[in-house]
Amino acid sequence: MASNAQGSHMKALLVEDAAVETLFHSAILHMFHCETTVAKTGKEAVDLFLEGKKFDIVLCEKEMPVMNGLEAVEKIRAIGETDVKIVGVSVDCNAMEAFMSAGADVFVPKPITLDVLSAIIQEIINKKNNAMV
């Protein structure tokens, strides 16, 4: 399962304010050899992109202080970051429509499973490999 995405060395941005979920999702991303940066608010995430940081995948929680995930996704897309795979995550299953409207590529209800993330990461790897050909 995880072996398909081994060696990916992708850059991941985890936008999450809760400590437990940060620890859990960081561990999952680490299992897939992702270099992970954590932003605790939507604003921190947007600022990273404004600073010129590049990421292959963004896992973005919906409810956060200062700037929530939906607003962050809108702003990230608005500054021209259309290639990065944005995964909206929330324990609120009704958040899918809002995330997709904001510009997310996919919504995954929490907690994320290894299988689901593996498939998403593999898709990103395939896309990158196809782009190189």
Partner 1 sequence: MPDTPGAPLLRRRLVTDMVDWNMVLLTRRELSIRIKILHVINNILFPSIYMPSSSLHVSLQPSQFSLPACTIMDYSTLRRQITFMKKSFFDQGYLDEQFNQLEELQDESSPNFVEEVVALFLKDSPRLLTNIEHTIGKYPQDFHRLDSLVHQLKGSGSSIGAVRMKNECSVFKAHCNDKNLEGCRRSLQRMKREHATLKQKLESYFQLLRQVAPREHAVNSRK
Name the residue nearer to partner 1 (CB basis): 75 or 110.
110
Name the residue nearer to partner 1 (CB basis): 19 or 131.
19
Give yes or no for residue 35 binding partner 1 (CB under 8 A): no
Give yes or no for residue 63 binding partner 1 (CB under 8 A): yes
Residue ranges with strand state E in the chain: 11-15, 35-39, 57-61, 85-90, 106-109
CB of 95 to partner 1, least distance (A): 10
Beta bridge partners of 58: 13, 86
Name the residue nearer to partner 1 (CB basis): 20 or 131.
20
Amino acid in position 80 = G
Structure tokens at 85: 């795979």
Crossing angle of helices 42-50 and 69-78, rounded to 10°: 20
Q: Which of 83, 91, 127, 128 binds partner 1 (CB under 8 A)?
A: 91
